[in-house]
Amino acid sequence: MTRRKCVLAVVLAVASVAVLSPFYKAPESIASAMANGQYDQAVSLLKNPALDSHSGAQATLGNMYYLGLGVAQSFQQSAQYYSRAAFAGSTAAQVNLGHLYSSGFGVEQDTPLAYAWFNLAKSNGSRIAPLYMAEMLSEHRLNFRVVEQLQIDYATIKQFTKLH
């Protein structure tokens, strides 16, 4: 397993815990289903229309689709749920969406957009996002001129997320 995949696994695990604890007060039945490995039941409960606009539920569903827990693994579905949660302000989903854009899993690979999502997550307090940003620069996938433009574009993304 590559370093990036190991880091992502940790991010997803932390995001799942974070989403299901302080930021998202899951009904006991969802938390219980997750703890007991009854992922199909958890997915069913998370798809409840009452939770449709809840960023924590969306981010958790993104994790479930990414990992194939209780559903067939689908990076495209994962990207859709992460996107909804990211625009709603979920920092974990912003990091995970950045990873999808960085790697091209479920979406067209877009390094500048990945960087912008990591930057937004960083501004929202993510500790892992700056590591991804530094990795992108050290791998020379971005140069400093592009990063300067992204700082401008980032403000647009941040404003867009406030509208949605």
Question: What are the domain boundaries of the chain?
Answer: 3-163
Residue 31 has pLDDT above 90, yes or no: no
pLDDT in tens, 87-145: 999 999 999 999 999 999 999 998 888 888 998 899 899 999 999 988 887 777 666 66
CATH number of the domain at 3-163, out of 1.10.10.10, 1.25.40.10, 3.40.50.1820, 3.40.50.2300? 1.25.40.10
Question: Is the model more confident about 163 or about 79?
Answer: 79
Torsion sign, CA atoms 23, 28, 29, 33 = positive
**Cα–Cα distance between 2 and 21 in angstroms, integer?**
29
pLDDT at residue 53, rounded to an integer: 82
Q: What is the pLDDT of residue 134?
A: 87
> Model's pTM, two decimal places?
0.73
List Cα–Cα distances, 67 to 12, 13, 34, 70, 164, in angstroms.
Answer: 9, 10, 13, 9, 27
Read off the amino acid at residue 77.
Answer: Q
pLDDT at 158: 60
